[in-house]
Amino acid sequence: MIKSQLNDISYLIKNDLEAFNDLFRKSLKSQVFLVDLITKYLLKQKGKKIRPLLVILSAKLSGEVNERTYRGAILVELLHSATLVHDDVVDNADKRRGFPSINAIWKNKVAVLMGDYLLARGLMIAVDGKDFDFLGIVTDAVKRMSEGELLQINKTRKLDIDESTYFKIISDKTASLLSTCCEIGAVSSSQNPEYHKALKKFGEYLGIAFQIRDDILDYIGTSSVIGKPLGGDIKEKKITLPLLFSLKNAGQDESQKVLKMIKNGSKDGDVKKIIDFVKRNKGIDYSVETSIKYSALAKEQLSIFPESESRAALMALVDFITERRN
């Protein structure tokens, strides 16, 4: 049902998405056989394409979709692909969207270079199109994404994190790119700085809600639905909002015990105990509430726009993202 919600939204801009897909495929042609082979492999794995969707809907809401909108959508999708390829090296992951990851098939060497290639290719498209305004937005996002991840690693190693640091991390590592998508869409079709600002903020709040949802999904649902094992964050010693709240909410003795388990690299039995601890101490409830709060903030930003199909679609996208089960 939720999946079909996304289909409905996509259907609204079906022609635009098709035009995007065509151009995206063309932009990935390379003279180097190995590069071509890997991009074809990546193209087979149809992701949810949420980022191009955000660019196109934001452009439609602010004005008319045009060539610049498509280039912006290609730029963010290439950037997103680059970070996924690098993330799989970073996390030593051997699967992505049900397919073996690039590093699993072609080794880390190729995956690192391929990520660099995709990033450069994306930036070149903006340079060639003289979309210099996109470049400032996008390079800031790349910087924030890597800084956010590095901050998380830093804090994870020390198991030392508070709520404001958590929000800094998720804003930088996740919200920055979604915010970029919406801002680029707006900038591509309108000169109105109010529109740019509203959609940039919309994307930022949406991104925060998105990442909180992601962090909740690590504690609920079944592994077959979300495609990754439950409690992955716990095993990696990543303290996210549900756990953070429960640690504060529970008695000090119990919290200390839980922290000790995490520190010692929780075994399977421990993971179950920690998930129970989080649920008992309202970590999930609090995180769901917080995610809904940010969704509402996101929607609020759209109030300056008159009612339209694209506004409704962006609102629906917020719901989709906050309620998704994978």
Binding site for a copy of itself (CB under 8 A): 30-35, 83, 86, 89-91, 108-110, 112-117, 119-121, 123-124, 127-128, 130, 132, 135-136, 139-140, 142-143, 145-147, 149-151, 153-154
Count of CB atoms situated within 10 Å of the CB of 106:
17
Q: Determine the Cα–Cα distance for residues 205 and 118; give it in Å rounded to an integer.
A: 27
Minimal distance, residue 314 CB to a copy of itself, in Å = 28
Cβ closer to a copy of itself: 3 or 40? 40
Cβ closer to a copy of itself: 85 or 317? 85
Q: Determine the Cα–Cα distance for residues 286 and 227; give it in Å rounded to an integer.
A: 24
Minimal distance, residue 166 CB to a copy of itself, in Å = 14
Cβ closer to a copy of itself: 46 or 157? 157
Which residue, 217, 215, 210, is CA-closest to 152?
215
Cβ closer to a copy of itself: 6 or 78? 78
Q: What are phi and psi of 99, to 5 degrees?
A: -100, 155
Tokens of 259: 């922290």
Tokens of 82: 């680059």
Minimal distance, residue 88 CB to a copy of itself, in Å = 10
Q: Determine the Cα–Cα distance for residues 88 and 151; give it in Å rounded to an integer.
A: 18
Minimal distance, residue 184 CB to a copy of itself, in Å = 14
Cβ closer to a copy of itself: 67 or 116? 116
Q: Determine the Cα–Cα distance for residues 194 and 178; give it in Å rounded to an integer.
A: 18
3-class secondary-structure state, position 28:
coil
Minimal distance, residue 31 CB to a copy of itself, in Å = 8
Tokens of 248: 């504060």
Cβ closer to a copy of itself: 105 or 292? 105
Which residue, 199, 177, 47, 187, is CA-closest to 119?
177
Minimal distance, residue 236 CB to a copy of itself, in Å = 11
Which residue, 44, 40, 322, 317, is CA-closest to 185?
317
Cβ proximity of 76 and 85 under 8 Å = no
Minimal distance, residue 275 CB to a copy of itself, in Å = 25
Cβ closer to a copy of itself: 12 or 119? 119
To which residue do tokens 């008695």 refer? 251
